[in-house]
């Protein structure tokens, strides 16, 4: 054998942290948002908005603070999560600002910026103070109790636009159901992590279906009933669908029992059909979905869904360009539930696909963290949080584009709505936290990775 | 658990694919149908989101656009709206467009592909050009002379340039201000209802959309038919008209308003407007010859566009001889638009050659380069040049010492023909006063103008209503304005 540089120590196994990647992507995300902001002003008023520097600086500062929190407290976190969140939040602000130009008396962008700041503050708080996600496992039952309270309280407040999902105190309003999503995800993950073996392998077998014992099944049935209760009492089909979908996905991932899933879906379908047929508010949504143009034929002009479809169609392949569409024709909820129609009209199918891919990437990174984690709770939490995003995007995007009946729900990060933005920032913070654990090198792995060199003279 | 996570991920991927396929369905495959949905306001908003091109008279714009700051941003404005309404029409956000605003809408609204600097430019840039302008053939001073001459009485004036067919004046009174209809809202709908309910029909363009019995002015057509068919070879020779003239196959006697019509020559019959002679000549020419002659002047043509459609002037093609006799003097079912009668005068003035009338000289882009020019083109040879020359002389005699002396102008050769048309059940309505004429400046090689004037309700006593008295002075002032230019 020839002499080699065997004396040199072997390179230390070192997982890249990728914080530099995150920073450069963040710069890109902020620049894209600032460009969008300027493009709206140029198209609409032939001038760059005067506060573009302040806007860009503000968003950049938020992104930088979030980045620093991640760099020092979660250095191994997935580098894509934060830039995607910043880009989506930035685009949301651009779209809301753009719609504000059409409604001078109703300025939503400044409020949304304040909520975004609050969201980033929560993000930083979670990343800094939650050192390990497994701590949350201890608070499973506290979480579900809090979630139930948050969901039940709005029933005692007056309905807003047909849905009882708001709490209004003075001029301040928020949707507690948004925060309940996270609490429920934590509970489901903790409960299923603790009981998945009991669920999967114990219990009585009736015909081909193996049923778990009542003690284990009880809480799960309770949750199913709650989701139907939310649907009926709050007339909020979207949240109900989201809770149920989240529950089904986590149950499947924890146990792998497709049989129950089928039964659960069947029950959900029956429930949805019954409510869709007999509850007037939900029934009218289903009718709109089946024939969006019925109101035109009836001489009452186009309804919201028809206007939304017109907006998407006007966008076509490349869109009209930011600031040049007429999605404001949708009227009520153009900045919240129907914000995607503005994106579809002004950015076209191309821009819309890009937005969907950003969400898909966010979900995929969450799933990836779930795959890499070793503890069952962490896995289920990551899958649960990622699935909340996936389901929510599908339910609202499918709703405004006529794929499924429309349900009032906020497009994550894009739509106007403080509770939603804050909640989504917390979700991303939790994903950052679990992905940091998932990618963090294990001390024992590092040790086994060091192999003592064989001295040459022993050969 | 790893396996189930992968399954769940596959489910999320399925949701993504469903969203993307659905997005392609809405934004690409069904996009055209959604764009064209009548309830989709985008087409309307785009149409009004920039100033509309202008309509020019004598180099000056008679229209404008103002930004209202509403959803449909730009509304049409008009300078001297009532004066030019029969030319421009209206461009309303509520009621659509008419006349030039309608016929040249693609240029004015900027959608005409010819406005783009390059083919498919608009498709590539997904933009619209600024609205182009429409330059009309109308002569401002003549338009005003006609409008002031009518003075609010119900009537119309049409004037054309005989050698080119350019329409120099197109007036209909009483008129309306099209700006009242420009926008949206209750003031517009109220104005619309009021204008439509008005008995004076201010929105009716009498110059091209209303037909009247032409009365004695039609005798020019009959005379042309008689000369061309060589029923009359010498206009100064006495005719064998029976007197009193009984309509063929009836016992009805056709009266003459004029004196000296017995056996009168063609020239004399035109000069003093003899019913009997012309009715007799019409019957002698025969139905086929009369129909052919009338159609060569443009009667029975429902396809005339200037570029707006002109109402069909009628000369029946299936009549008994007594009906033909009445038709030959512009009664019975014979009707004509004022523009049609101006075309008759212009054909005589232009040596028998009838030019196709047009109101739009050219269209230009917003920056002024020409998009399309309406060239002068010959429509028909309405009569032989010899016939035209003889008719010119006869019409000149009418103005020199016949029924049309009110139209005489110093320093110009003027030919004319009066008409006083009966109408209504048993001719009970107030007669229509007609005058058709042409004028040629002395020393000029070509006639300057041909004009037709009709006054519906010359608000004087019935006996005083006459083409020479009521209509001829208006024609004179219009022709004077033409000769001054």
* Tens-digit pLDDT profile for residues A404-432: 888 878 899 999 888 899 999 999 999 99
- Give the residue from chain A lying closest to B11, CA to CA: A249
pLDDT, residue A170, reads: 61
Structural domain harbouring B260: 209-361+376-484
Residues in B touching A397 (Cβ below 8 Å): 19
ipTM at complex level:
0.89
Q: Is residue B401 part of a domain?
A: yes
Bridge partners (DSSP) of residue A172 are: A169
Query: What is the phi/psi pair of residue A266, to 5°?
Result: -60, -45
User: Does B411 map to a domain?
Assistant: yes
pLDDT of residue A350: 95
Using a 10 angstrom Cβ sphere, with 0-12 exposed, 13-18 middle and 19 or more buried, the burial of residue B176 is buried
Q: What Rg value do the Cα atoms of chain A yield, rounded?
A: 24
Which residues of B fall within a CB distance of 8 Å from A320? 126
Specify burial of residue A354 (Cβ count, 10 A radius: 0-12, 13-18, 19+).
middle
* A12 token code pair: 């230390």
**DSSP H stretches of helix in B350-426:** 385-401
State the smallest CA–CA distance between residue B100 and chain A in angstroms: 30
Mutating which of B27, B48, B125 best tests the A interface, going by the most A Cβ atoms within 10 A? Answer: B27
Q: Which residues of A, range 263-302, sit inside 8 Å of B by Cβ?
A: 293, 296, 301-302
Average pLDDT, chain B: 87
Task: Name the helix (H) or strand (E) containing B55.
Answer: strand B55-57
* Chain A residues near residue B1 by CB distance under 8 angstroms: 253-254, 256, 376, 379
Taking the CA of residue B24 and the nearest CA in chain A, the distance in Å comes to 7
Question: Residue B116 contacts by C-beta under 8 Å, 6 or more apart in sequence?
Answer: B122, B129
Q: Would you give the distance in Å from CA A144 to the centre of its chain? A: 19
Chain A: give the shortest CA distance to residue B45, in Å: 9
CB within 8 Å: A393 and B3: no
What does each C-alpha distance from B193 to A13, B180, B352 come to in angstroms? Answer: 87, 11, 45
Identify all chain B residues contacting A354, using CB atoms and an 8 Å cutoff.
Answer: none
CATH number of domain containing B248: 3.40.710.10
Cβ contact (<8 Å) for B23 and A376?
Answer: no
> Which 110-129 residues of chain A touch chain B by CB within 8 A?
none
Q: Rounded CA gap, B171 and B455, in Å?
A: 12
Q: What pLDDT is recorded for position A441? A: 80
Q: Do B40 and A256 touch (CB under 8 A)?
A: no
For range B398-423, the mean pLDDT: 84
Which 363-402 residues of chain A touch chain B by CB within 8 A? 363-364, 367, 370-371, 376, 379, 383, 386-387, 390-391, 393-394, 397-398, 401-402
The answer to whether A150 touches A175, Cβ cutoff 8 Å, is no
Using the structure block, give the residue that is written with the tokens 């429902």: B302
Where would I find the H helices in B314-460? 321-328, 338-349, 385-401
At residue B114, the pLDDT reads: 85
Adjacent-strand bridge partners of B167? B160
Calpha distance A136→A437 (Å, rounded): 14
Contacts of residue A186, defined as CB under 8 A and 6 or more positions apart, other chains included, come to A136, A139, A140, A143, A381
Task: Give me B335's structure tokens.
Answer: 């009707």
Residues in chain A with pLDDT values less than 50:
1-5, 445-450, 458-459
- d(Cα B430, Cα B460) in Å, to the nearest integer? 10
B137 occurs within a structural domain: no
> How many structural domains is chain B composed of?
1
Q: Which residue in chain A has the smallest CA separation from B42? A: A326
Residue B288 has pLDDT above 60, yes or no: yes
For residue A227, the model assigns a pLDDT of 63
Residue A218 to residue B89: CA distance in whole angstroms: 78
* Spatial contact of B144 and B178, defined as CB atoms under 8 Å apart: no
Task: Say whether pLDDT at B170 is over 50.
Answer: yes
pLDDT at A448: 46
Residues in chain B: 485
Q: Above 70 in pLDDT, residue B191?
A: yes
Residue B38 belongs to a domain: no
Question: Are the CB atoms for A306 and B39 separated by under 8 Å?
Answer: yes
Residue in A closest to B30 by C-alpha? A313
Spatial distance between the Cα atoms of B461 and A195, rounded to a whole number of angstroms: 109
B9 touches chain A (CB under 8 A): yes
Enzyme catalytic residues of B: 216
Q: How confident is the model at residue B143 (pLDDT cuts 50, 70, 90)?
A: very high
- The predicted model gives B422-430 an average pLDDT of 68
Residue B400 · residue B380 · CB < 8 Å: no
Tokens 């929190």 belong to residue? A69
Q: How far apart are CA A174 and CA A180, in angstroms?
A: 12
B245 to B250, B277, B295, B325: CA distances (angstroms): 11, 9, 27, 10
Cross-chain residue pair A394–B3, CB shorter than 8 Å = no
CA angle B268, B270, B275 (to 5 degrees): 100
Name which of B433, B423, B419, B404 is nearest B154 in CA terms.
B433
- Is position B465 within any domain? yes
Higher-confidence position of B272 and B209: B209
């Amino acid at each position: 054998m020839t002499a080699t540089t065997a004396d040199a120590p072997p390179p230390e196994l070192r997982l890249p942290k990728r914080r530099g990647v995150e920073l450069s992507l963040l710069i890109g995300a902020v620049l894209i948002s600032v460009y969008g902001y300027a493009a709206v002003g140029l198209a609409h008023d032939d001038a760059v908005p005067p506060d573009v520097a302040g806007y860009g600086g503000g968003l950049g500062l938020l992104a930088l603070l979030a980045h620093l929190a991640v760099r020092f407290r979660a250095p191994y976190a997935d580098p894509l999560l934060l830039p995607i969140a910043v880009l989506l939040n930035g685009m949301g602000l651009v779209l809301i600002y753009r719609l504000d130009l059409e409604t001078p008396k109703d300025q939503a962008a400044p409020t949304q910026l304040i909520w975004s700041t609050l969201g980033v503050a929560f993000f930083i708080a979670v990343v800094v103070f939650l050192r390990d996600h497994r701590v949350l496992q201890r608070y499973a039952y506290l979480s579900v109790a809090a979630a139930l309270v948050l969901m039940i309280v709005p029933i005692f407040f007056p309905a807003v636009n047909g849905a009882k999902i708001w709490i209004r105190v003075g001029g301040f309003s928020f949707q507690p159901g948004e925060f309940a999503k996270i609490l429920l995800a934590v509970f489901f993950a903790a409960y299923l992590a603790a009981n998945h073996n009991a669920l999967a392998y114990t219990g009585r077998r009736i015909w081909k279906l193996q049923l778990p014992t009542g003690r284990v099944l009880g809480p799960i049935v309770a949750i199913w009933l709650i989701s139907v209760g939310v649907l009926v009492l709050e007339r909020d089909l979207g949240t109900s669908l989201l809770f149920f979908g989240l529950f089904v996905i986590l149950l499947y991932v924890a146990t792998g029992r497709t049989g129950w899933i089928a039964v659960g879906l069947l029950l959900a379908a029956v429930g949805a059909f019954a409510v869709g047929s007999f509850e007037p508010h939900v029934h009218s949504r289903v009718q709109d979905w089946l024939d969006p143009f019925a109101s035109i034929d009836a001489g009452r002009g186009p309804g919201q869904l028809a206007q939304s479809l017109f907006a998407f169609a006007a966008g076509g392949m490349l869109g009209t360009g930011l600031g040049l569409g007429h999605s404001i024709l949708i009227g009520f909820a153009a900045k919240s539930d129907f914000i995607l129609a503005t994106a579809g009209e002004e950015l076209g199918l191309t821009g819309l696909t890009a937005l969907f891919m950003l969400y898909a990437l966010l979900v995929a990174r969450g799933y990836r963290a779930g795959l890499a984690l070793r503890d069952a709770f962490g896995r289920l939490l990551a899958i649960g949080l990622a699935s909340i995003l996936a389901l929510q995007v599908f339910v609202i995007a499918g709703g405004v584009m006529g794929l499924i009946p429309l349900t009032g729900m906020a497009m994550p990060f894009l739509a106007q709505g403080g509770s939603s933005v804050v909640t989504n920032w917390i979700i991303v913070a939790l994903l950052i936290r679990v992905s940091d654990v998932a990618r963090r090198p294990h001390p024992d792995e590092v040790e086994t990775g060091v192999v003592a060199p064989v001295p040459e003279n022993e050969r | 658990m790893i396996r189930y996570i992968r399954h769940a991920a596959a489910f999320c991927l399925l949701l993504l694919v469903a969203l993307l396929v659905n997005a392609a369905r809405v934004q690409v495959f069904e996009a055209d149908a959604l764009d064209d949905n009548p309830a989709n306001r985008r087409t309307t908003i785009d149409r009004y989101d920039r100033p509309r091109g202008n309509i020019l008279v004598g180099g000056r714009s008679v229209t404008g656009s103002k930004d209202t700051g509403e959803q449909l941003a730009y509304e049409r404005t008009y300078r001297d709206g009532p004066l030019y309404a029969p030319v421009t029409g209206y461009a309303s956000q509520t009621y659509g467009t008419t006349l030039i605003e309608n016929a040249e809408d693609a240029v004015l609204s900027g959608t005409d592909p010819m406005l783009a600097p390059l083919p498919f430019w608009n498709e590539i840039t997904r933009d619209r050009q600024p609205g182009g302008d429409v330059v009309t053939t109308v002569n401002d001073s003549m338009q005003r002379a006609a409008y002031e001459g009518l003075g609010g009485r119900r009537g119309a004036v049409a004037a054309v340039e005989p050698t080119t067919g350019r329409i120099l004046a197109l007036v209909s009174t009483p008129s309306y201000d099209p700006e009242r209809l420009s926008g949206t809202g209750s003031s517009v709908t109220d104005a619309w209802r009021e204008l439509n309910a008005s008995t004076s029909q201010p929105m009716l363009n009498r110059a091209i959309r209303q037909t009247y019995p032409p009365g004695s002015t039609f005798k020019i057509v009959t005379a042309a038919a008689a000369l061309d068919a060589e029923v009359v070879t010498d206009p100064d020779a006495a005719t064998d008209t029976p007197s009193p003239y009984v309509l063929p196959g009836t016992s009805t006697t056709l009266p003459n308003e004029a004196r000296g019509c017995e056996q009168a020559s063609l020239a004399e019959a035109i000069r003093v407007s003899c019913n009997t002679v012309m009715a007799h000549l019409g019957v002698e020419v025969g139905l086929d010859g009369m129909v052919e002659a009338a159609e060569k002047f443009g009667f029975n043509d429902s396809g005339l566009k200037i570029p707006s459609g002109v109402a069909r002037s009628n000369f029946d093609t299936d009549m008994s001889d007594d009906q033909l006799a009445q038709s030959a003097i512009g009664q019975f079912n014979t009707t004509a638009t004022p523009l049609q009668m101006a075309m008759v005068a212009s054909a005589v003035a232009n040596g028998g050659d009838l030019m196709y009338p047009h109101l739009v000289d050219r269209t230009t882009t917003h920056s002024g380069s020409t998009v399309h020019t309406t060239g002068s083109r010959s429509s028909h040879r309405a009569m032989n040049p010899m016939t035209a020359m003889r008719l010119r002389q006869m019409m000149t005699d009418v103005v020199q010492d016949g029924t049309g002396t009110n139209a005489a102008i110093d320093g110009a050769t003027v030919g004319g023909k009066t008409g006083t048309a009966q109408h209504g059940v048993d001719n009970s309505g107030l007669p229509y006063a007609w005058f058709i004429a042409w004028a040629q400046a002395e020393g000029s090689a070509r006639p300057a103008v041909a004009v037709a004037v009709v006054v519906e309700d010359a608000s004087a006593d019935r006996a005083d209503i006459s083409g020479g008295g009521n209509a001829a002075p208006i024609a004179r002032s219009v022709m004077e304005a033409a000769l001054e230019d």
